Amino acid sequence: MFRVMALAESISSAPADAHGLSVELTLPPRPLRWLFLDLNSYFASVEQQLDPALRGKPVIVAPVGSDTTVAIAASVEAKRYGITTGTPVWEAKRLCRELLIAPARHDKYVEFHDAVIAEIWKHIPVTRVCSIDEVACRLLDNENSPDQAVALARRIKAGIRANVGECLTSSVGIAPNRLLAKLASDMQKPDGLIVLTAEQLPHRLFGLALRDISGIGANMERRLARDGVNDIRQYCERRPRDAGTAWGGTNGDRLWYLLHGVDLPDKATRTRSIGHSHVLSPGKRGLEPVRLTARRLALKAASRLRRKGYAARLLVLHVRFEQDKVVWQTSRRLAPTQDSFQVLAALDALFPRLAEEGRLRHGSLRVRMIGVTLNEIVPVAGEQGSLFEHLDPDDPLARETRGLALSRAMDRLNEKFGRHAVSLGPFYGGRIDRVGTKIAFGRIPDMDEFHE
């Protein structure tokens, strides 16, 4: 419990309440509890590790061989030219004439990720894998003095370079909670090591921007500004309750305590959707290539749904047209299902809407990005056999039962014999781009996905 005491005299370091009265908050002990490791320019570093000819040179990783796409990663050398993740390839080439472009190899990034995790486990248990290139580890009492934690971080960094790849540098942050450790890891790149102790908080953070804090985007920044909070100092100088009011929502004061070094338990989360998207090459953006690509994405999503033990109740088709910056989407309700046949039937029902939207907007369908998401997913627990599985296969009551059994059989065949060993619908040939497994921010694909 946090004890709040109103003081008769103003204390400059204490937050002020709404009436200008100064208050002092007695916070619990805040020892160093978290080590956060962020691999520098990860995808590009893996490419440099795999190909010595790329080392020391400006490199970007791109999803397809087209100037119309964007960089999904930039090497340390490329970043010196102002190239970052999201920079269009044509612009990156303009910024750096010596730029080298490596095609994305997501299966290799997962392989290296697994090797990095295994190396970290040699030194300290991994508490949470936050993304493909970020790991958080909880420090025990016998390893959380500043000297001990710094020595541990240096051993981990050296172990990754020696045993995984010399190109794989990392920045490490050490702090009383995971949010602050993440912020510390961002303070010095590449190959940094920053420690934030309780005595340095929160004033050590005042030079950072609000947007540097995970969870604060443009909308939240505007909301805070309307309440008179324009930087981290102004936020931290408020009482927790008043800071929470500015933040809004349930547990709005949570950020205040985190920025002051309190190690709060994580809020419970759960998976809410499963989906995939793909940027189409310029020659394959008409209706039929888009439809076939969407079917492939839907099959991948349905396979993941079954593997994770979920059923979906909503299918969402979302696209970005060539001429538009905003995403257009449409959806269709599903009876809770894992069946690829049911998912594809719902997807086929949405395509007339997409074709009509393209005609109304631009006279013809030209889609730059296509995505399929299975939403409102629920766990499948205690599943019972169907009463209809012995009916005639064409009986409507038996159709989904047979379809789900066939979908699961296809999963097993593709896992054993490789991607596309069996599929639903036409053989694509050259009509669509290769739709491989990709790494989304914050989600690392299972190796099984590279067989889908």
Question: What is the token pair recorded at 42?
Answer: 């990860």
Give the position of tokens 């933040």.
247
Classified as helix, coil or strand, 317 is strand
Which backbone phi and psi does 275 adopt, to 5 degrees? Answer: -165, 170
> Tokens 């916070």 identify what position?
27
Q: How far apart are CA 411 and CA 418, in angstroms?
A: 10
Six-digit token string for 224:
């805070």
**Residue 65: which of 109, 102, 106 has the closest Cα?**
102
Burial class (CB in 10 A: 0-12, 13-18, 19+), 335: exposed
The DSSP output letter for 286 is S
Closest CA to 114 of 447, 416, 449: 447
Distance CA 81, CA 76 (A): 9
* Cα separation values, 67 from 42, 47, 211, 250, Å: 22, 19, 30, 44
| Two tokens, residue 14 | 């204490």
Strands 134-138, 170-175: pairing is unpaired
Q: Report which of 145, 153, 151 is spatially closest to residue 120, judged by C-alpha positions.
A: 153
- Tally of CB atoms within 10 A around 186: 16
Type of residue numbered 331: S
How far is Cα of residue 36 from the mean position of the Cα atoms in its chain?
A: 16
C-beta of residue 116 within 8 angstroms of C-beta of residue 14: no
> If you write DSSP's letter for every residue of 183-209 in order, what string do you get?
HHHHSSTTT-EEE--GGGTTGGGTTS-
Instruction: Report the distance separating Cα 299 and Cα 449, nearest Å.
Output: 11
Q: Which residues are catalytic?
A: 134
Closest-CA residue to 227 (of 212, 213, 248, 208) = 248
User: 70 in helix, strand or coil?
Assistant: strand
